[in-house]
Structure 1
Amino acid sequence: MTKGEETRQFIIERSAPIFNTRGIAATAMSDIMEATKLSKGSLYVHFENKDVLAGAAVDYNMEKLGNKVMAALSRHKNAKDKLFAYADAFNDPMQPPVTGGCPMMNFGMEADDTNEVVRIKVNEAVEMSQQVIIDIAKAGVKEGTFKPDWNYKEFATMMFAMIEGGIMISRVAGNNSKMKIITRNLKKMITEQVI
């Protein structure tokens, strides 16, 4: 990495938790200046404007979340355990895998009507997350772990929506009790498909 690339990455890493916690609209360049100890001019050397930096921060937060989920899945061999691990990766919304909470939830709710670029990024991440669930379940059907008639594509949509909804209600309530119910029921639904 060149010095310029290192500085750009440093700015992204320092600003990503701020954008994910406060939101894009509520984050000012002065917040980024404070976190990075860089001048406004230095920030604008690396990022044309706040929206460009916010887009990079969204990408960084999504990648960080994806890496943590994939690391959790990689510890397991069979499809059932991988699906359980996926659910468990989000089981504690009060201690989220990414500072500030789930970036898909945070940026998705903010950007759906206000920022088309971020909305598209979030939608891609949502589709990719559901595809991970589909791929695991499909492999489980192929390996003989799950029933061959399981509509795992529909299940992937439900699982993803239940997890995201559980994150929201848990964070608003300030506790994980509802997420525990969701995780328990997702695992029950998965177990019901085991041959």
Structure 2
Amino acid sequence: MSKAAQTRQFIIERSAPLFNKKGIEATAMSDIMAVTKLSKGSLYVHFKDKEQLAQAVVDYNLQLLDKKVSAAISKVPTAKGKLLAFIDILTNVMYPPVEGGCPMINFGMEADDTNPAINKQILTAIERAQKTIVNIIERGTESGEFSSDKSPREFATIMFAMIEGGVVMSRVAGNNNKMKIIVKYLKAMIDEQLK
């Protein structure tokens, strides 16, 4: 990796938690300068503006989340185990897999009406997460672990919405109490899918 590419990656990695915590609009170039210890001119050598950096940061945070979810589900052999791992990695909101919380929620809520490019990145990430759930269920159905009388796509939508809704409720409350209820019901729904 070239020196310029290394510096660009350094800026993204140092800025990622900042953007994820404060939001795109509330993060100032001076904040980025403070966490990177780089001058404004140095930042603009690597990114034409804050918007370009924000898109790179959103992509980085989403990739980081994907890697952690993939690592968690790859450790277990069964479809049920993979779904439980998916739930477990995302539902301890006091210790989220990405510093600052779920980037899909954080950036999605900010960008839905204001930033079409980032909104598209978030939509793609949401669809990818749901596709992961669908694939797990389909493999579980093919192997005979799950019954085939439920729609994997519908289940994935419900599961994902419950997790993300629980993340919001728990982050606002500052505890995992609501999430524990959601996890209990999700696990019961998964058990209903078993043959």
Post-superposition Cα deviations, 1:51-81, rounded to whole Å, max 9, x if no partner, equal 0000000000000001000000011001010
Q: C-alpha distance in 2, partners of 1:151/1:41? A: 53
Q: Residue 91 of structure 1: CA displacement?
A: 2.1
Q: Residue 2 of structure 1: CA displacement?
A: 0.2
Q: C-alpha distance in 2, partners of 1:148/1:34? A: 54
Which ranges in structure 1 are unaligned for 5 or more consecutive residues? Answer: none
Q: C-alpha distance in 1, partners of 2:150/2:142? A: 11
2:129 alignment counterpart: 129
1:35 alignment counterpart: 35
Q: Residue 149 of structure 1: CA displacement?
A: 1.4
Q: Which runs of 4+ in 1 moved over 4 A?
A: none
TM-score (norm 1): 0.99
1:190 alignment counterpart: 190
- How many residue pairs match? The answer is 195
The answer to whether the aligner puts 1:98 opposite 2:67 as a matched pair is no
Post-superposition Cα deviations, 1:79-101, rounded to whole Å, max 9, x if no partner, equal 01000110111121111100110
Q: C-alpha distance in 2, partners of 1:152/1:190? A: 11
Helix, strand or coil: the match of 2:38?
coil
TM-score (norm 2): 0.99
2:174 alignment counterpart: 174
Which ranges in structure 2 are unaligned for 5 or more consecutive residues? Answer: none
Q: C-alpha distance in 2, partners of 1:55/1:141? A: 37
AA in 2 matched with 1:193: Q
AA in 1 matched with 2:172: V
AA in 2 matched with 1:63: Q
Q: Residue 158 of structure 1: CA displacement?
A: 0.4
Helix, strand or coil: the match of 1:90?
helix
1:162 alignment counterpart: 162
2:9 alignment counterpart: 9
Helix, strand or coil: the match of 1:192?
helix
How much is the aligned-residue C-alpha RMSD, in angstroms?
0.5
Instruction: Name the % identity.
Output: 59
Q: C-alpha distance in 1, partners of 2:120/2:151? A: 27
